[in-house]
Amino acid sequence: MDIDESLDAKLVDVAKRAGCSPATVSRVLNNNPKVGLGVREKVLKAAADLGYVPNGSARALRSTRSRLVGTVIPTLDHAIYATMVNSLQARLAEKDVSIIISTSLYDVDMELDQVRLLVERGVESIVLVGSIHRPETIALLEQRKIAYVFTYTSTSTEIGAAIGFDNEKAGRMAARYLIDIGHTRLAMIAGITDNNDRAAARRDGFVAELERQGIAKADVTVLESAYKIEGGRNAMKRLMEKADRPTAVFCGSDIIAAGVIKYCHENSIAVPGDISVLGFDNLEIAELTTPDLTTVEVPAREMGTITGDYLLATSAQRQHMRQRELPLRLVVRASTAPIAR
Amino acid sequence: MDIDESLDAKLVDVAKRAGCSPATVSRVLNNNPKVGLGVREKVLKAAADLGYVPNGSARALRSTRSRLVGTVIPTLDHAIYATMVNSLQARLAEKDVSIIISTSLYDVDMELDQVRLLVERGVESIVLVGSIHRPETIALLEQRKIAYVFTYTSTSTEIGAAIGFDNEKAGRMAARYLIDIGHTRLAMIAGITDNNDRAAARRDGFVAELERQGIAKADVTVLESAYKIEGGRNAMKRLMEKADRPTAVFCGSDIIAAGVIKYCHENSIAVPGDISVLGFDNLEIAELTTPDLTTVEVPAREMGTITGDYLLATSAQRQHMRQRELPLRLVVRASTAPIAR
DNA sequence: CTGTTAGCGCCTTCAT
DNA sequence: ATGAAGGCGCTAACAG
């Protein structure tokens, strides 16, 4: 047993033990190919013997490569984000890149603060959600030449990347489906659109498509709800208290839809008999409601993986990956039904 | 507009512009109280003008305080962990501490790899899940003097901390409740207990308490399932195909319970008429099943906050916080019912 | 209260 | 293929 083990070994210590210079140890550690095979092995053994752990800060300071990625998402308390981050992390971990996560609570000012902190930490790139941010946020990133990716959107700036889907198209898809199966009296319970460009775009797409199909904007009730079961339930209550009840409701998230269905149960409103309910996200809970939820699937897992691929790519490769619109898929289950015309 | 803004300003640049020494700037930035008010303001203004962002790596290297915390959880794809991490992150962010998250997929070897990487990144402390880890993991942490916390458990080592709850007690609580309402033919669908001391402890507590109450171990069927709706459903199928059907099932997680109830629906088994279903976690989905799920509430959010408090405390304060057993609460809803004796 | 001096641990020219 | 030397940006002694 070595005395050395009790202290935190440094690169010089490894060099001493391996009988070579620090520079050589550094080369071995960084997989620099031009190192003699014998020396390389001796170094590796010495490092293992000493329980050597490189100092990331020193490394980052010297080389300006931190192997750190930052992420600012609204919250981890919503599966749609947690799932994306999960797969992003998994992909990055394969290449020993670590991820710092922070949350903004859907607040662009808080997002800016978090981005500042991430920049301070020396992250090489940053993953954001949506395409609306404080100008200062983007300016900071550009100025420091930190790569950034917008997710859950396909709208990018000239410089950043966007990996996600078209929220407006998603809204239109929902509208078209409900119209296709015969509904004409429609409503939407969107997420909170303030500070949330994705929620707003889905609403706009939905309303726009309905209008295109001859349903006046004024005839479409649009409410908003937090992404909580309770929120959906309360919104549905408000909706049902109105005079002109719709025959179908498009919800900005499956969570909201679950609350809507819950309300319907409690008030003996048949789903889809009296009212069709269409969700968004295709979370695992979409198969827990009774009836199972028809919904638009958001490829959250895939988004995380692809974002990881992008971040791991060289800047040359990135050019071809800067814009990625993932397909949306309508998953028809049992919460929606055609209506007689 | 300043020319200086185009380059990344460093601490020296701020000093020059403020007309003082780098040391003074450093003091201001670190809220060292003994700096003249006038100078302090001048420095702050200079920093703002230059868009100065401190270099965290240099800071960490010099001061050995990285303001970085590491976390290794099984997965972010399970709300019970995502919720905890969410509140942990929120608490740490209040004090500008960042959190690096990595996942182990319930594998202690992978956990060790992730911990090594976190140590390399210079985290000041590490949050782990459960109390079973590779000896190397703990040895590394101890040797580098990195504080660590076990969560979701109340079993700690002599040196580390534990902030969570007693899983065995939880299992016993479940058993007692079901017996109290008259059930004698019981089964459990636990999570995968391999490499998961929490799942194993809940199972052991459940079985032990039943035994104490006169129900032989051999009469209690215990199956295991992944934490997925599908897993719970399949496990329930296996359970129902056995000759001696239980009148109550305790599930290792609400997710599993949701799958169990789903199976019951599909096979016209009344819940709780034919069979009572008891969940664990009290996730948001516990109010989505039909009927609503009776379950044992795990204080995930609170655990994150308290863990954050612990990590932000000074080592002196920590002494009193090293062992924290949070109370478990049985939430009775509609999926369980008394049985006639 | 403020400035000067000296590195933290590593990587990266530049030599050899 | 390997070594020597310098410095990345910052903070901690120590002076004054």
What does the pLDDT look like over A83-109, one tens digit per residue? Answer: 999 999 999 999 999 999 999 999 999
What does the pLDDT look like over B73-113, one tens digit per residue? Answer: 999 999 999 999 999 999 999 999 999 999 999 999 999 99
Cα A177 → chain centroid:
26
For residues B100 and B190, state if they share a domain.
Answer: no
pLDDT at A339 over 80: yes
For residues A108 and A202, state if they share a domain.
Answer: no
Q: Which of A279, A108, A84, A222 is nearest to A165 (CA)?
A: A84
Percent of chain A with pLDDT over 90: 91
Tell which of A81, A105, A120, A127 to mutate to test the B interface (max B CBs under 10 Å). Answer: A120
Residue A318 φ/ψ, nearest 5 degrees: -60, -30
DSSP, collapsed to helix, strand or coil, labels residue A98 as strand
Q: Are B74 and B53 in contact (CB under 8 A)?
A: no
What does the pLDDT look like over A235-271, one tens digit per residue? Answer: 999 999 988 899 999 999 999 999 999 999 999 999 9
Domain assignment present for B314: yes
Please report how the helices B135-143 and B108-120 are oriented relative to each other, as an axis angle in degrees rounded to 10. Answer: 20
CATH number at residue B261: 3.40.50.2300
Residue B278 φ/ψ, nearest 5 degrees: -115, 125
| Bases along strand D below 7 A from a protein CB | 1-13
Query: Chain A to chain B, count of Cβ pairs less than 8 Å apart?
Result: 148
Mean pLDDT score, B317-327? 93
Instruction: Give the H or E element holding residue A179.
Output: helix A167-180
DSSP, collapsed to helix, strand or coil, labels residue B51 as coil
Mean pLDDT score, B323-335? 97
| A22: nearest nucleotide, CA–C1' criterion | D3
For residues A283 and A318, state if they share a domain.
Answer: no
d(CA B44, CA B24): 11
Residue A121: its chain B contacts at CB < 8 A?
56, 68, 98
pLDDT at A145 over 70: yes
User: A259: distance to nearest CA of chain B, Å?
Assistant: 8
pLDDT attached to residue B341: 56
Domain assignment present for B251: yes
pLDDT band at B159 (very low <50, low <70, confident <90, very high): confident
In the numeric block, which tokens belong to residue B247? Answer: 């009148």
CATH number at residue A28: 1.10.260.40
Residue of B nearest to A260 (CA): B288
Cα B311 → chain centroid:
14
Q: Are B260 and B251 in contact (CB under 8 A)?
A: yes
pLDDT band at A3 (very low <50, low <70, confident <90, very high): very low
For residues B161 and B171, state if they share a domain.
Answer: no
Residue of B nearest to A59 (CA): B57
User: B290: distance to nearest CA of chain A, Å?
Assistant: 7
Percent of chain B with pLDDT over 70: 97
Does residue A93 reach within 7 angstroms of strand C, measured from its CB?
no
User: A313: distance to nearest CA of chain B, Å?
Assistant: 21
Residue B58: its chain A contacts at CB < 8 A?
57, 61
Distance B63 CA to D12 C1' (A): 8
Of B5, B122, B285, Cβ closest to residue A288 = B285
Residue A79: its chain B contacts at CB < 8 A?
77, 79, 82
Domain assignment present for A271: yes
- Surface of B (160-179) touching A: CB under 8 A: none
User: A98–B100: do the CB atoms touch at under 8 Å?
Assistant: yes
User: B67: distance to nearest CA of chain A, Å?
Assistant: 9
pLDDT attached to residue B101: 98
Strands B276-281 and B248-251: parallel
DSSP string, B269-324: --TTTT-EEEEEE--GGGGTSSSPPEEEEP-HHHHHHHHHHHHHS-HHHHGGGSEE
User: B102–A89: do the CB atoms touch at under 8 Å?
Assistant: yes
Strands B125-129 and B68-73: parallel
pLDDT at A4 over 50: no
For residues B292 and B171, state if they share a domain.
Answer: yes
d(CA A87, CA A207): 33
Distance A62 CA to D8 C1' (A): 5
In one-letter notation, the amino acid at residue A256 is I
pLDDT band at B2 (very low <50, low <70, confident <90, very high): very low
User: B56–A121: do the CB atoms touch at under 8 Å?
Assistant: yes
Q: Which of B311, B301, B317, B309 is nearest to B68 (CA)?
A: B311
User: B100–A103: do the CB atoms touch at under 8 Å?
Assistant: no
Q: Helix H segments across B19-78?
A: 22-29, 37-50, 56-63
Instruction: Give the H or E element holding residue B117.
Output: helix B108-120
pLDDT attached to residue A1: 37
pLDDT at B170 over 70: yes
User: A76–B76: do the CB atoms touch at under 8 Å?
Assistant: yes
Work out the burial of residue B289: count CB atoms within 10 Å of its CB; fewer than 13 is exposed, 13-18 middle, 19 or more buried: buried
Distance A15 CA to D4 C1' (A): 14
Which residue has the closest alpha carbon to D7 C1'? A62
Q: Which of B146, B103, B104, B96 is nearest to B121 (CA)?
A: B146
For residues A86 and A128, state if they share a domain.
Answer: yes
pLDDT at B3 over 50: no
Cα B4 → chain centroid:
45
Of A57, A90, A103, Cβ closest to residue B89 = A103
pLDDT attached to residue B106: 96
What does the pLDDT look like over A44-56, one tens digit per residue? Answer: 999 999 999 999 9
Domain assignment present for A190: yes
Does residue A139 reach within 7 angstroms of strand C, measured from its CB?
no
- Surface of B (179-218) touching A: CB under 8 A: none
What does the pLDDT look like over A265-290, one tens digit per residue? Answer: 999 999 999 999 999 999 999 999 99
Of B60, B118, B229, Cβ closest to residue A284 = B229
What does the pLDDT look like over A223-238, one tens digit per residue? Answer: 999 999 999 999 999 9
Total tally of structural domains belonging to chain A: 3
Q: Which of B283, B330, B296 is nearest to B77 (CA)?
A: B283
Kindly give, in sequence order, each residue whose CB lies less than 8 Å from that of residue B285, ignoring residues fewer than 6 positions away: A285, A288, B79, B254, B255, B258, B293
For residues B233 and B195, state if they share a domain.
Answer: yes
d(CA A256, CA B131): 37
User: B210: distance to nearest CA of chain A, Å?
Assistant: 31
Q: Are A87 and B110 in contact (CB under 8 A)?
A: no
For residues B190 and B137, state if they share a domain.
Answer: no
Domain assignment present for B310: yes
For residues A247 and A306, state if they share a domain.
Answer: no
Domain assignment present for B263: yes
Q: Are A193 and A199 in contact (CB under 8 A)?
A: yes
Rg (CA), chain A: 26
- B1-5, B44-48, B219-223: which range is least confident on average? B1-5
For residues B159 and B200, state if they share a domain.
Answer: no
pLDDT attached to residue B6: 55
How high does pLDDT run on average in chain B?
A: 94
Range of the domain at A201: 167-297
pLDDT band at A341 (very low <50, low <70, confident <90, very high): low
Percent of chain B with pLDDT over 90: 91
Rg (CA), chain B: 26
For residues A184 and A100, state if they share a domain.
Answer: no
Domain assignment present for A28: yes
For residues A221 and A270, state if they share a domain.
Answer: yes
Mean pLDDT score, B286-307? 97
How high does pLDDT run on average in chain A?
A: 94
Q: Which of B102, B95, B127, B60 is nearest to A66 (CA)?
A: B60
Domain assignment present for B176: yes
Mean pLDDT score, A307-330? 94
pLDDT at A117 over 50: yes
User: A54–B288: do the CB atoms touch at under 8 Å?
Assistant: no
